[in-house]
Amino acid sequence: MNEKIMNCFEIEEHLLDYVDNELAGSMQQVVAEHLQACLSCRKEVESYRKTAMLLQLRAVPEPPERYWDESWEKIRAGFKARVLPLAEKPLGVPPRSLRLQHVNWRPLVGVAAMFCIIVASALLWSWQSRSREIAAVAPQRIYMNPTPVVTVGRDDNFSDDMYRQMELVDAGRAAFGSIDPISKSVMLVRLEADRK
Amino acid sequence: MSTQVAFKMQVAKDSAGQYAGLPESDLITLAQQGDEFAFEALYRRFARTVYTVAHHMLGNHHDADEVMQEAFIRIFKNLSRLRSPQAITAWVYQITVNLCMDFRKARTRSRWEPLEGDEDRHSHFELATARWVRNPEQVLENKELLTHITAAIDSLPEQQKAVILLHEVEGVSKKMIAEILDCSLVTVRTNLHHARKKLRRKLLRYLNA
Ligand SMILES: [Zn+2]
């Protein structure tokens, strides 16, 4: 009798590890044998298992699919506004797995087309502007400026309109941000010409 | 203009879709080079994890949403410091858990308490989607139980709460929890044991039913 109480006390130390199946082989066996004979320890093990299961009751509801899209837009905008400019298009060499078999050319053609549009608008923009203004504006990267549209944090009324607005801002930024290298050379040539 | 925007969005969609199949190590490398589609693919891969952990830790959608956005901005911001791609899962958890703890601390300072009428926390939607609950009568019966479970979890110290939620609900291994919380395996074990004992005591009357 006395021995059994001592035993339960000792066994209790190991019950949680037993539940997790983390006892060394021999000890796992000792506890298992004890549990077969001892109802109170068995109940204790059961109560831990049930507690763990009760926690599952707090299952997290799955948000609607559009939530993930909207969140991404907010994160992207927040990141661009606060941290660093992201590349507007996939950069550099595509990963090996993309290069040969899985290439879907359509988006690449799209990217090329976008690039042409961007270059064209960059040239157009730089020719239309006066050189002094270019000198003042061009070297600054526009996307480093804080964007007023963006709020990071709570925004329960994230409407489709804001979506569109952000896309417009982004499209503008794509054209404006990529102006740098080209306009720089144009600008230099013009400044050179102005000096003469 | 609108066709151009639509076109741009389509290009974005296609490219993001292609990135979805890449291994994490490739995505991390591309993202470290500033590739937006790699960032998006990483977001798609980890968003549910981050959201779920935050929701468990904070107990409602609004706070989880706020923490998720901040978590990803920090993940992206610091991605260049990530040396080993295998560490990304633990690291994502770590940033999320730390943010949740900070969030709670900030709330506690302004005497934040679990709100009585917090619609989101105990919404029928939430109850109805819980794994155990199958029918509406059970939903109502379990509402009181859920309130008690939530209160019991909320009463735990943050560290213990994080350990027990990650381990029992998310199924994260003790070893990874030690990495996430930047503590020893022994500490994880101790915290887990304390948390389990406390929760068991608090929920005792539901355990024999
Ligand atoms: Zn016993």
Residues B22 and B53 in one domain: yes
Question: Is A127 within the bounds of a domain?
Answer: yes
pTM, two decimals, is: 0.60
Q: How many residues belong to chain A?
A: 196
- The number of folded domains in chain A is 4
**Can you tell me the ipTM of this complex?**
0.74
Is the CB of B76 less than 8 angstroms away from the CB of A79?
yes
Nearest partner of A185 among A142, A129, A140, A138, judged by Cα: A138
Residue the block writes with tokens 């703890």: B101
Question: Is A26 within the bounds of a domain?
Answer: yes
pLDDT tens for A30-89 read 999 999 999 999 999 999 988 888 887 777 788 888 999 999 999 999 888 877 655 454
Residues B93 and B69 in one domain: yes
- The number of folded domains in chain B is 2
Which range marks the domain in which residue A131 is found? 103-144
Instruction: Tell me which of B114, B130, B163 is where a domain ends.
Output: B114
Cβ within 8 Å of residue A59, ≥6 positions away: B126, B129, B130, B131
Instruction: From chain A, pick out residues whose CB is under 8 angstroms from the CB of B161.
Output: none
Q: Give the helix/strand (H/E) hosting A167.
A: helix A160-177
CATH number (domain holding residue B10): 1.10.1740.10
Residues B12 and B87 in one domain: yes
Cα-based torsion angle of the residue sequence B151, B154, B156, B157 in order, rounded to the nearest 10 degrees: -160
Residue type for A79, please? F
Residues A152 and A192 in one domain: yes
Least confident of A10-19, A81-90, A175-184, B146-155: A175-184
What residue in B sits closest to A77 (Cα-Cα)?
B73
Question: Is A97 within the bounds of a domain?
Answer: no
Distance B197 CA to ligand 1 centre (A): 17
Handedness of CA A74, B93, B49, B128 (dihedral sign): negative
Residues B109 and B54 in one domain: yes
Is the CB of B40 less than 8 angstroms away from the CB of A102?
no
Residues A32 and A9 in one domain: yes
Residues B84 and B161 in one domain: no
Question: Is A178 within the bounds of a domain?
Answer: yes
Question: Is A62 within the bounds of a domain?
Answer: no
Which range marks the domain in which residue B150 is found? 122-209
